Amino acid sequence: MYTLRVEAEFAAAHYLSHYHGKCEKLHGHNYRVRLFLRGSILDSGGMLADFGQVKGVLRDVLAVLDHNNLNDIESFKNDPSAERIARYIFDEVLKRFPSGGLDPDLLYAAEVFETPRSMARYTRD
């Protein structure tokens, strides 16, 4: 099994409505996102997928989040936790893979780091 990983960043603000503590107040993060693809078959050029194509799709998804208040995005329903952000990114990337020339079956996981030591992951299985 082969694994491919790409990374990107975005900056955004959020607050957690159902959390009691400092994160219930508006604050921001410089998020790091890692996207993972997995598969067992390489193309004729010996690649699982083209890094450039994968990064392009991920950049398009993150452009919607970058420099915004994530609470204003309907998908998060006022609680844009790292877990929900990871699922959102996974789902949005998955929707765009076919138009980006990528096989949706290869998408395996999305990780979202709020800090270098705090991360949430959403996986296909």
* Residue among 14, 92, 111, 114 flagged as catalytic: 114
Q: How far apart are CA 46 and CA 115, in angstroms?
A: 35
Residue whose structure tokens are 């790091």: 32
20 is catalytic: no
Tell me which of 9, 24, 67, 83 is the catalytic residue.
67
- Quick one: the chain helix, strand, coil %, rounded to 5? 35, 35, 35
Written as six digits, the tokens of 101 are: 């020339």
* Among 23, 24, 27, 83, the one annotated catalytic: 23
Which of 56, 55, 86 lies closest to 70, judged by CA?
Answer: 86
Residue type for 67, please? H
Does the active-site annotation cover 23? yes
For the annotated catalytic residues, the residue numbers are 23, 67, 114
